[in-house]
Structure formats: C-alpha cells, structure tokens
Structure 1
Amino acid sequence: MSYFYERFGDRVRRARTACGMNQQVLGEAVGLNRTSISNIEKGRQRVALHMLYEFAAALRVEPEELLPTPGDQSDILDAVPEDARSWAQDVLANAEEEDRG
C-alpha cells in the first residue's frame, strides 16, 4: 500500500512543479499546510479520497493523472542529464541482461 502513496505523491509533485507552484501555495489551495504537502509527496501521509479532486483542481489536471497505474514507477533516469540518458539506459539494459543470463 505504501508504494501506491509514494507513486501518488510523486505524481502530485510532478504536477505541482509543472505548474510552477510551491508546496505552500498548493497547501493553501487544498486546505493543508506545507508540511502535509511535503509528507504526501514523499508518500508518508495518506489522503482521503475526496482530496484527489481537490489536488486535481488545484493542479489543473484530471484526477486520473494523479492516480498510479499498475506497474507505475518513477523513472530512475529522471535524475540523469538528458545528454547522458541513452548511455545510462544502455548500462541498465546490459546489467539486466547479465542478471538474466
């Protein structure tokens, strides 16, 4: 279950940063404090179902965009600079191949 909330929090964070919004502003928009937003984004705090709609409205996205899907995971390569991603993908693919072989 914690995986679900970690992915939800990750999607909230991505949507928030895409809007150029900070945690304080998002918190005010949904009736929570900045600390709660931080905890939600880290998957440490669960939210009531009705809050999905509050977050979606504040972030100007459809509620479904905030919900994790089966197999949903954050992309480990998000932290890798764009010009090094193909190299990093090759390294990861080779490592996975060695694990299977």
Structure 2
Amino acid sequence: MDGFYEAFGERLRRARTAQGLNQQELGSAVGLNRTSISNIEKGRQRVALHMLFEFAAVLRVEPEALLPAPDGRSDVLDELPEDARGWAQSVLANAKRETDRG
C-alpha cells in the first residue's frame, strides 16, 4: 500500500507545481501545514478521503487525476522527464481553464 501513497504524493506534487503553488500555499488552502504537505508528497502521510476532494478543488483538477491507476500503470506524463512533464501539465491546466470559461 505504501506504493499507492507514494504515487498519490507524486501526482499531488505535480498538480501543485503545475498550478504554481508552493507547499505552504497548498497547505493553507486545505487546512494543513507545510510539513504535512511535504510528508503526503513523499508518501509518508496517509490522506483522509475528504482531503482528496479538497486537494482537487484547490488544484483545479478532477479528484481522479490525483489517484494512481489501480493496476500500477503509469500515464503518459509519468514517462516524460520532469521539466517536460511540468510544462505539459501546465499546458493541460491552462487548456482546462480555458474550456471551463468557454
């Protein structure tokens, strides 16, 4: 089960950085401290189910986007180098914002 929380933490970190937030900002927005966000992103702290929805709302993603695939598969973005992955995520986040406005 630890792999699940590590994968969740990685997805959370990517979504956070795509939104341009630091750990303190995300923590403040969801009622946690920076240390908790750091521990969650490293897979060291488990997350209550209701927090999935809090994170998703603040990060402007669907809750499912933060969940790892049940069979352990990675998505296409997982295969990219970190700098390219961050760029792709920010492009996707901007595209989603534009379609939500439209």
Q: TM-score range by the shorter chain?
A: 0.7 to 0.9
Q: 1:35 aligns to what?
A: 35
- In 1, Cα distance between equivalents of 2:42 and 2:13: 9
After the TM superposition, which segments of 4 or more aligned residues of structure 1 sit over 4 Å from their partners?
none
Identity value in percent = 73
Structure exhibiting the larger radius of gyration computed from Cα positions: 1
| TM score, norm. by length of structure 2 | 0.72
Please state how far the C-alpha of 1:17 moved relative to its aligned partner: 0.4
| TM score, norm. by length of structure 1 | 0.73
Count of matched residue pairs: 81
CA deviations on 1:43-80 (whole Å, 9 max, x unpaired) are: 0000101100000001010000000002234846525x
Q: Which runs of 5+ in 2 are unaligned?
A: 85-102
- In 2, Cα distance between equivalents of 1:19 and 1:40: 17
Q: 2:81 aligns to what?
A: 78
CA deviations on 1:6-29 (whole Å, 9 max, x unpaired) are: 000000000000000000000001
